[in-house]
Amino acid sequence: MSKIVILGIGNLLFRDEGFGIHVIRHLQELFEFPENVSIIDGGVLGMNLLGIMSEAEHLVVIDVIRNKGKPGDLYRLSGEQIPSRIRAKNSLHQVDFLEALTLCEAIDGSPETVILGAEPEDIDTLEMELTPTLREKVDKVISMVLDEMDRLGVPYRKRS
C-alpha cells in the first residue's frame, strides 16, 4: 500500500490563514482512514515538513490559495499548476512549503501532489475563527479530500 499524507498547512492565528488546519481537524473528527494514510497538522512548519513529505507517495495539501478569485472560490492544483504558483507565493508558510516540495523533488523525487484550497477573505486579522465565507467551505473541501481518496482507491469510513 502506498503512503499517503493529508497535510493541512496555515496559521490558526490569522483568521482564514488557518483554513487548512480547520479542515484537517474536522476531517479527523468525522472519518477514519487506513494505517497508510497520515493526517498531519503542518501549521507553518515549512521546511521541517521535508521528512514527512519525502516519505509520501501521494500528498494532499489543504491551504488557502490566493488566485485573484472571489473569497470562497475553491481550487484543485496539481502537476504543472503547482510550479506556476511558486511565483505567486501567498504567505511565509507557503514559501517554506513550496521550497520543501522543491527540495523533496531534488533529493529523491517528490510525491504526486494535489493542493486543495479556497480563496481567503481575510488573512490579516488576528483572530482564530474562520470568516463565515470560508467556514461554509470546510465541508466542501473535506468532500474534495474524499474525492482524492476515491481516486487513489483508499477506503475510509465515517466515524459513528
When comparing pLDDT for 93 and 16, which is higher? 16
Give the whole-angstrom CA distance, residue 156 versus residue 98: 28
Domain positions in the chain are: 4-158
CA distances (Å), 88 to each of 56, 83, 85, 104, in order?
Answer: 25, 10, 5, 20
Q: At what angle do helices 19-30 and 138-152 cross, to 10 degrees?
A: 60
pLDDT in tens, 29-70: 999 999 999 999 987 666 667 778 778 899 999 999 888 899
* Mean pLDDT for the stretch of residues 22-28: 97
The predicted model scores a pTM of: 0.85
* 3-state DSSP assignment of residue 103: helix
Mean pLDDT of 82-102: 53
Strand partners, 31: 158
55 phi, psi to nearest 5 deg: -85, -15
Q: Write the pLDDT tens digit of every residue in 109-154.
A: 678 889 999 999 998 899 999 999 999 999 999 999 999 999 999 9
Give the dihedral sign, CA 16/17/19/21.
Answer: negative
Strand partners, 58: 4, 112
CATH architecture of 4-158: 3-Layer(aba) Sandwich (3.40)
Who wins on pLDDT, 67 or 100? 67
pLDDT band at 99 (very low <50, low <70, confident <90, very high): low
User: What is the pLDDT, as a whole number, of residue 95?
Assistant: 46
Strands 157-158 and 31-32, by their bridges, are antiparallel
Q: What is the spatial distance between Cα 120 and Cα 71, in angstroms, rounded to a whole number?
A: 5
